[in-house]
Structure 1
Amino acid sequence: MRRPDLGALQRRVATYHELGHAFFKHSGCDPKQEVQASIWASRQMITESAFIEAARITDELQGIAHHLGVMKRDVEFYLRSFSYAEMVAMRHKIGWGHP
């Protein structure tokens, strides 16, 4: 997966994404596997404490991504990985109130 046209951030994200495929032992490529690999990658790159800290600075996904050193889509996949109860708890920890 050598892509010299990718920047450092994109290479990092792509590497974690591909590691997600390896973690789940995916073969082939389908949309469900792509989402699963992306969620796994986001959970590896973003810690709860770092997310909370970034979300207290800004509630904009692009700003959170910037603070975390990831792409906006990684923040979206990270949030997508939460159950409703986990999301409510996270919002409480950040101070955002209820969804």
Structure 2
Amino acid sequence: TSDQYDEYFHISFGEKLIKNDPKASYCGIFDAGSTVRAIIYSGEQSKNKNAGAIAKAISEILGGSGGGNARFAQGGGKDKSKKDEAIKKAKSMVLE
């Protein structure tokens, strides 16, 4: 799972991924202490995948907040019991 990796990994990986494939989107959701964090990237050519909108939707599920721009966003929340629901939402938004 992505819990094995820290924020630095998710930012570096997402950045490299969309640089190499501008049609790609990436979402890393992971535990960070008492919170669940999300890092989202959307390549310039990824169809209607707004990283900020994805971060906001995931963070609302987790009882927190998030945002950013169309290309990069982050967020999270404290409700770890909703992590699986947040992952499901992220998958539906990234893969739609």
TM-score (norm 2): 0.28
Q: Is the radius of gyration larger for structure 1 or structure 2?
A: 1
TM-score (norm 1): 0.28
